[in-house]
Structure 1
Amino acid sequence: MMNSTQLKTLVDLYRVAGKPAISGVYLHLQLSFSNDLDTLIKELLASPQLLKYIIDDEFTVDGDPLQGNCLPPNWKTIDLTLKLPRDSIHRFHNSIEELINFSSIRNGDFPTDFYIIDLDYYSGDAITPPSVQKIENICKLIKALSKLAHYHDRKSTDGEPRLVFIQGSEGRSKSAILQPTITKEMLNYSDIDCTVVEQLKDDISVDDVNHHVEKRGIFRNTLVEYVNENNFDFQKLIEYWTEFRLAYDNNLSVYLSGFNFHKARKDVAAAELEFAEKTSKTISDLTTKILAIPVSLLAALGAWKMQDLTEQLVILIGVIFTSVIINLIISSQEKQLNRIIHAKDMVFSPFILKLKNYPNELQNDITKAIDELKKNEKFSKNILISFYVLCWIPTLVGIVIILCKNLFMKE
């Protein structure tokens, strides 16, 4: 195989000579001096690999045979005949149709060094013709599909590789077999976007680790379904590649939607459980403190047995102090409950905004979760209000007892 520098030298000579006709594998050049030509001829003579393409006794300088492969310092005309390389794909091709007939192209191996005569295109040129770009994209697609295929079938009589894709479903399996090929007709198809397949070709994706395995499976299943339902071969698949991509995108969207809905359902359930527990905890944390209310009430009732007003007032002050402490504790729990409610609203706000985008089942789950949490909040607030009232009952009882004993029961 030649490297690109050798072939490029031959291409440059051919172009500078005015792209004369090529007779089979022979290229006859009649050259007049120019600085560019002088440089190219010296490159030709200096390379042992390129010298083998010069036909012996058909290299003359100013009418005289070249001596010792040494170019005279001052020359005017050169006649030489080259035998162009024809033993590999790295060569002169008459047309792009000739290029695509190579088996390596059908295997997805796009050449890096070649020249197409009728397009005047060398693979190192800055601008690539659309037809060549299409072939390169199809080669990339073939390579990527080869890595995605479950296995390659080379047992056929023609020896051409076939890509086998398998779809497993409910204990049964279906397969699709594609034999890569590139034809002249494919050059008229829409350009191929092989980005998705190239992203999926490797077992592990560095750029997109999320659902990579699932995406590979969805792509394979979609390919099997699409090829079998339409009875397509590889050429037809390329012709309708845009429609196939749309089918894959739709299947992927269905999967991702289902995954997102499942994740949303789990998030809603976890949030509902978390906030229900926190709301309940605001009440349960008060239970031991509320037990002080009956004790305080007994103390208030004890004032009935006290005859001295000072003793009664001491008891009343103790009861009032207890009521104030319990009231502050209840107030603290009420603030905690309000913070929990605020946090709950923040967590559920995104779900509410996207509620219409979710399926009915998930909509019902979210609505029910929010309603149940609101009922729980209302119940907790009512209990706190009740505790507010209860904590001041011993104080009211103590005041009533002292008033009765010292105002209404005096003789």
Structure 2
Amino acid sequence: MASPVMFAAAYRMLGRPKLLTRSSFHFRADSCSQHVEPAIAMLLASQAGRFDEILVDGKEFQSADFKFPAKWSSFEFIYKLGGGEVGVYKNFQQLLIECKAIVRGNVLSELYLIDEDVCSQGDENPDPRLDNLKSLCDLITCLADLAHYHDEKLRGEEYRLIFVEEDGVKGAKTIALQPNIDLELLQHNVSSLLLGTLLESNFEVNPHIVKERSIFRASLVEFSAEISDGRERFKFLVMNWKEFLRLYNNNLDTYLSGFSFHKAKQEVGTAELSIADQLSKLISDISGKILSIPISLVVLVAIGKSDNGFESAILVLGVTLTSFIMAETIGAQKLQYNRICHSRMLLFSAHEKKIEIYPDDLKAYLRSAVRGLVRNEKMLGRSLVALRCLVWIPAISAAAVHGFIYRAELHEGWRYIAMRAGDLLNALACC
């Protein structure tokens, strides 16, 4: 296998002789030199070409059986390169013209460019154009993965990447990119890190990659649709790569914001439904308590028809206990009501803090939901306070009726109690 790096080392040891043609050079040494023999050995080992003619002291040798004599005074040869497939080119221009694999994103790992003296490996100060070339090839590879399909029908050396804008309002738009790298594009280094995250191989890593790939294609169509030629479109994309990335990121942010707002709207709706459901359950429980108030008032009739004061007092005691139990039950519901109000504030507080960045429809929806729930809470709070007062009406009414009917007995009872209390006080005073 040919080694351009080994050829570069040998060629430099020979003093970089000028090319006779685009693919051959002539070397002559008029005195024995120590670096010539190892350079020739490296040329043979590099397999980058062949010796067309070898003369030692005027005598011609065949390259296949050539061996340096022990002594020589003049040595010259013509070396012919094997072509672009060995990775040795005259210059960048020849590389870009003859290396057809570049338009498909493939570049040889070992390269040597004779005129510029640029080697892809081993140089202390590598030519930045080589890095730029690799970045452009990476870009082509990523674009090929993102393209809907590849068109190679025109000529074998042409390579077209077809992109279709999906979900277009005015119908599908199709553009073709025809990768073609020239000397001007070699001045640009494009980063394909973003595109690397959108490759088909990342489907399991990013669940949103399908939509992100679609946004990238739509952004590409939007960015370069006005340019008709595929090669010019590719060149325009490379030379304005940062502007394109800005457009793509804006489109992606718009999508993600819309997704987030949709999710926020769903969260608000779910929270509203949950709080409303809890308030509804509490109202249903209260409704049952309200019905017990008129039922308890029936005891007033029984008190009026009781045969004696003892029976009437038992009925009053029963109604009082019922009112007490109902009041405590409503008090417990008031605590539950407070928890529901607190939950509503927790669920909506995060959205209320971000309300200024929400779109208008989500703002209106959020404010409407909060206002409606607050109104329900206030009405239910007032109902609980009123109901807790109302449950005591049967007990108070029963006590009032009992006191009115048996006022004489009660009066005598209080007089008796007062007398007994006086006697007890007098007895204590005498002691």
TM-score band by shorter chain is 0.7 to 0.9
Cα pair 2:106 2:137 within 8 Å, conserved? yes
Residue of structure 2 aligned with 1:192, choices 190, 196, 201: 190
- Given the alignment of the two structures, is residue 327 of structure 1 paired with residue 327 of structure 2, yes or no? yes
Cα pair 1:199 1:205 within 8 Å, conserved? no
Task: Give the structure 2 partner of residue 178 of structure 1.
Answer: 177
- Given the alignment of the two structures, is residue 259 of structure 1 paired with residue 259 of structure 2, yes or no? yes
Residue of structure 1 aligned with 2:95, choices 79, 92, 99: 99
Matched to 2:89, the amino acid is H
SS state of the match for residue 180, structure 1?
coil
Cα pair 1:58 1:80 within 8 Å, conserved? yes
Distance 1:71 1:300 in 2: 136
Identify unmatched segments of 5+ residues in structure 2.
413-431
Task: Give the structure 1 partner of residue 363 of structure 2.
Answer: 363
Cα pair 2:132 2:187 within 8 Å, conserved? no
Deviation, structure 1 residue 199: 2.3
SS state of the match for residue 172, structure 2?
strand
Cα deviation, 1:115-143, whole Å, max 9, x if unaligned, reads: 23455443334765322111111111111
Cα pair 1:296 1:319 within 8 Å, conserved? yes
Cα deviation, 1:369-394, whole Å, max 9, x if unaligned, reads: 11001011111112212221122112
Matched to 1:94, the amino acid is K
Cα deviation, 1:335-375, whole Å, max 9, x if unaligned, reads: 11211111111111121111111122221111111100101
Cα pair 1:110 1:136 within 8 Å, conserved? yes
CA gap of 1:362–1:332, structure 2 versus 1, over 3 A, is same
- Given the alignment of the two structures, is residue 134 of structure 1 paired with residue 137 of structure 2, yes or no? no
SS state of the match for residue 392, structure 2?
helix
Matched to 1:320, the amino acid is T
Distance 1:88 1:247 in 2: 39
Distance 1:19 1:111 in 2: 22
Task: Give the structure 2 partner of residue 111 of structure 1.
Answer: 108
Distance 1:294 1:206 in 2: 66
Cα pair 2:26 2:78 within 8 Å, conserved? yes
CA gap of 1:16–1:284, structure 2 versus 1, over 3 A, is farther
TM-score, length of structure 2 as denominator length: 0.77
CA gap of 1:16–1:343, structure 2 versus 1, over 3 A, is farther
Distance 2:75 2:312 in 1: 134
Deviation, structure 1 residue 270: 1.9
Distance 1:348 1:198 in 2: 39
SS state of the match for residue 298, structure 2?
helix
Deviation, structure 1 residue 88: 4.1
- Given the alignment of the two structures, is residue 151 of structure 1 paired with residue 141 of structure 2, yes or no? no
CA gap of 1:71–1:382, structure 2 versus 1, over 3 A, is farther
CA gap of 1:171–1:52, structure 2 versus 1, over 3 A, is closer
Distance 2:56 2:308 in 1: 141
Cα pair 1:27 1:84 within 8 Å, conserved? no
Cα pair 2:105 2:140 within 8 Å, conserved? yes
SS state of the match for residue 162, structure 2?
strand
Deviation, structure 1 residue 302: 2.6
CA gap of 1:218–1:178, structure 2 versus 1, over 3 A, is same
Deviation, structure 1 residue 204: 5.1
Matched to 1:299, the amino acid is V
**What pairs with 1:1-400 in structure 2 (closer than 5 Å)?**
1-2=1-2, 6-15=3-12, 19=16, 21=18, 24-26=23-25, 83=79, 86-101=82-97, 102-118=99-115, 120-125=117-122, 128-157=126-155, 159-168=157-166, 169-170=168-169, 172-189=171-188, 191-202=189-200, 205-210=203-208, 212-231=209-228, 232-299=232-299, 301-400=301-400
Cα pair 1:89 1:99 within 8 Å, conserved? no
Matched to 2:235, the amino acid is Q
CA gap of 1:341–1:90, structure 2 versus 1, over 3 A, is farther
Deviation, structure 1 residue 33: 6.1
Deviation, structure 1 residue 53: 5.6
SS state of the match for residue 112, structure 1?
coil
Distance 1:84 1:301 in 2: 128
TM-score, length of structure 1 as denominator length: 0.81
Cα pair 2:334 2:384 within 8 Å, conserved? yes
Deviates more, 1:295-304 or 1:93-102: 295-304
Distance 1:321 1:82 in 2: 122
Deviation, structure 1 residue 154: 2.1
Distance 1:392 1:360 in 2: 49
CA gap of 1:17–1:54, structure 2 versus 1, over 3 A, is same
Cα pair 1:89 1:114 within 8 Å, conserved? no
Deviation, structure 1 residue 186: 1.0
Distance 2:406 2:86 in 1: 120
CA gap of 1:69–1:206, structure 2 versus 1, over 3 A, is farther
Deviates more, 1:110-119 or 1:177-186: 110-119
Percent of residue pairs bearing the same amino acid type: 30
SS state of the match for residue 233, structure 1?
helix
Deviates more, 1:213-222 or 1:309-318: 309-318
CA gap of 1:407–1:177, structure 2 versus 1, over 3 A, is same
Cα deviation, 1:146-193, whole Å, max 9, x if unaligned, reads: 22222222222575121222235347322212211000011234x212
Distance 2:212 2:112 in 1: 39
Cα deviation, 1:59-104, whole Å, max 9, x if unaligned, reads: 99xxxx99999999x99x9989695753444423333333222111
Cα pair 2:142 2:196 within 8 Å, conserved? yes
Distance 2:172 2:356 in 1: 37
Deviates more, 1:271-280 or 1:254-263: 254-263
Larger CA Rg, structure 1 vs 2? 2
Matched to 1:133, the amino acid is D
